[in-house]
């Protein structure tokens, strides 16, 4: 069974792959630059929310 830290590492890795793919698509198709940038911003917000949730879970686990 995976620990929270291991799960976070997996999700962070998947996030980087998604971001890399979004950047690749942005490069391949310059017409959609605005959409690609907004997609990346959305992914960044989602990751921040996820990291905050994990931090809170770890605090609860320690108390």
**37: number of Cβ within 10 Å:** 13
pLDDT tens across 1-55, in order?
A: 888 888 888 888 888 888 888 777 777 766 555 666 677 777 777 788 888 888 8
Residue-range definition of the domain harbouring residue 31: 4-62
Q: Count up the domains in the chain and report the number.
A: 1
Q: How far is CA 39 from CA 35, 60, 61, in A?
A: 6, 32, 33
Query: Concatenated DSSP letters for 1-63?
Result: ---HHHHHHHHHHHHHHHHHHHHHHHHH-GGGHHHHHHHHHHHHHHHHHHHHHHHHHHHHHH-
pLDDT value, residue 52 = 84
pLDDT value, residue 63 = 73
């Amino acid at each position: 069974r995976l620990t929270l830290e291991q799960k976070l590492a997996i999700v962070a890795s998947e996030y980087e792959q998604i971001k890399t793919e979004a950047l690749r698509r942005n490069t391949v198709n310059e017409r959609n630059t605005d959409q690609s940038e907004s997609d990346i911003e959305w992914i960044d917000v989602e990751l921040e929310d996820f990291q905050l949730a994990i931090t809170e879970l770890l605090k609860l686990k320690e108390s």
